Amino acid sequence: MSRYALSKHSSSYYLKQFREDRIEIQPARDAGLYAIVGGELVRAASGTSAGLHLEASPGTGILTIETDRSSFDLCFPCEGRRVEARFIQVGREVLGQIVEMDDAARALSQQKNYREELAYVDLAVETVELHYFANTVNAEWSVFFRRSGEGRWQLAEEE
């Protein structure tokens, strides 16, 4: 499991990759039927039966962070085509603690041979979701963190 962990580097290694100008905005999408045309997702014409039925999706800012083996995404909520400064700050805080958070999440795993990789980190002001997928089995799961009174991210207590 350790070869998939982020702890090969310090959190500062990942934090150095944070560049606000590299955040890509994926616009909000209404629920409905869509088709892929020329590599782009477009709303399908009404009355069309072929296509992908997709749920509504809020706008999201995506910043890809490279690891030794692959990458993971930081996912920021956004309004319109911009990410608010408070979420930019949360992204920096999380990357500054990402190795500690990844180690805590991996310590919860009962399986030692899933070869899990961090897929994305979903950011909010008071909670953060680390989402993992497994390479050896068809599985994915999330681990949640909450901001402590001292401003650090800690594993969320199960309620």
What are the φ and ψ backbone dihedral angles of 68, each rounded to 5 degrees?
A: -65, -35
Mean predicted confidence (pLDDT) in 127-155: 90
- pTM comes to 0.82
pLDDT in tens, 109-119: 666 667 789 99
Helix axes 85-95, 98-107, angle to 10 degrees: 60
The tens digit of pLDDT for each residue in 64-115 reads: 999 988 899 999 999 878 999 999 999 999 999 999 999 999 888 666 667 7
Q: Is 100 exposed, middle or buried (0-12, 13-18, 19+ CB in 10 A)?
A: middle
